[in-house]
Amino acid sequence: MKTKINSPSLLAFLLLSSFHAFCAEPSNGLAPEVPGLNLKDHLYQLEAKLPDLEQPYITVAPQDKHDGLTIGKLGVDGGNRALIEKYAADLAVPAKDDQAGNVDSLLISYRGKLIFESYYRRGRGNFPHYQMSITKSYTALAIGRAIQLGLLKMEDLDKPAIGFLKNLDTTKLVAGADTISLAQAMQMNSGIRLPEAKAKELMKNPAQLKGLAEIQAYLQFSAPIPPMPRQFKYQEPDTAIVMQVLNAVAPDGAEKFLKTELLGRLGITQYQWEPALSGLPKSAAGSAILSRDMVKFGQLILNKGKWQGQQLIPEAYIKRATSPNVLAYGTAHYGFFWWVEDFTIDGKTYHAVEGRGAGGQFIFMFPELDLVTVVTSHDKGMGDMLKTLPPRIIPAFTAK
């Protein structure tokens, strides 16, 4: 006979007790995986069909998979083990609804070492979790890589973006289209405003948006572009401009550039990146990345563009991309497709840089603490991690 547990707090206590036993020594088991995974499958649809794990996989001593991550151990290499294990237990409690709490993975890197790794529900060690808007953040890093390679210059960020798109019919563009810089597009203040009726009309025939026709349509049918300062608006046209510029300057195009010069340099090979209507890789959403590989992006930023001793992205670019360039919503600011905000915990303020994706995909970076935390989820909307994670994670690395 099974005993029904009605109290979430009691369930968390029981889970925590089992986690203490489970995490007492480094795990010799492997993180859960999807057998026979084919990266040519549509991962977004496949992910939705994955059965929940029968029990969470949690380790305070992640395995060295020789994937480029330096491995450590929670507690030994930093962090309050009791606080993190308690948080891990709470994340394993069944979610009350589909809006929040459906966490699939939580990983923590401290001072350059991966010290905690966990998978819940649909989380798998070898399954690239679908990424929504955090795909924008990866696209911004690709622009930085292009600058490091000399395909663009830092000063090009403030030049008109259409200057790189040679085959546009500029005679048909709205007034002010030639004033939108690459930096403004990455800050979501291009000023493009496409009437809803026109957008619906264009989508009736997606084939007409192939190649540069996508940007031609945005800049031809938009309302006139006002001068700066322009209002922040979170929208796809700005991201599309950036991917088109990357495609224009990369010798073999954006898709190969992302594969070899961004993902490849970080040792990321188990991924998927869907094509947009233009035929280029999607820039607003559409990538799928392993949780461990998401840690690499966070570490790259904390290392000011360096990875394994090599400068992949200019430090000056990383600084500007993760600065509070424009006010977005509330107290949150926006850099180049990266979010910037501060959290006050126990009377002290901590600066944070974040990659965010709908469904609950996050890379949290706390530079002052040299701390990266990655979360994947399958929530409806953003979930509650922006509110709940910082007060649970930060004290584990500040408590004396």
340: domain CATH number?
3.40.710.10
What is the predicted pLDDT for the residue at 315? 98
Residue 218 has pLDDT above 50, yes or no: yes
At 362-399, the pLDDT tens digits run: 999 999 999 999 999 999 999 999 999 999 999 999 97
In a domain, 97, yes or no: yes
| Max Cα distance, the chain (Å) | 77
What is the reported pTM?
0.92
In a domain, 146, yes or no: no
Return the pLDDT at 360: 97
Please tell me whether residues 59 and 117 are part of one structural domain: yes
Considering the domain architecture, whether residues 297 and 385 belong to the same structural domain is answered as: yes
Residue 136 reports pLDDT greater than 90:
yes
**pLDDT 10s digits, 92-125:** 999 999 999 999 999 999 999 999 999 999 999 9
Asked if residue 234 and residue 383 are part of one domain, the reply reads no
* Beta-bridge partners for 292: none
> Does some domain include residue 6?
no
Q: Are residues 85 and 231 in the same domain?
A: no
Does some domain include residue 376? yes
Residue 117 lies in a domain: yes
Indicate whether 17 belongs to any domain: no
Mean pLDDT of the chain, nearest integer: 93
Same-domain pairing of 202 and 294:
no
**Sequence letter at residue 121:** R
* CA dist., res. 4 & res. 14, Å (int): 13
Q: Does residue 15 have a pLDDT over 70?
A: no
Residue 134 pLDDT level (bands cut at 50, 70, 90): very high
Q: pLDDT digits over 220-254, tens only? A: 999 999 999 999 999 999 999 999 999 999 999 99
| 3 belongs to a structural domain | no
Domain count for the chain = 2
Range of the domain at 102: 31-135+264-397
**Are 236 and 385 in the same domain?**
no
> Does the residue 256 lie in any domain?
no
Helices (H), the chain: 8-22, 43-48, 81-92, 134-148, 182-186, 196-203, 213-221, 236-249, 254-257, 291-302, 315-321, 385-393
Domain closes at, from 196, 226, 249: 249
Same domain, 392 and 299: yes
Asked if residue 236 and residue 117 are part of one domain, the reply reads no
Is residue 39 located within the same domain as residue 100? yes
Residues 242 and 283 both lie in one domain: no
Is 272 found in the same domain as 245?
Answer: no
13 by Cβ neighbours in 10 Å (0-12 / 13-18 / 19+) ranks as middle
Q: In this structure, are 277 and 387 located in the same domain?
A: yes
Q: What is the CB neighbour count within 10 angstroms for residue 126?
A: 15
pLDDT score, position 30: 75
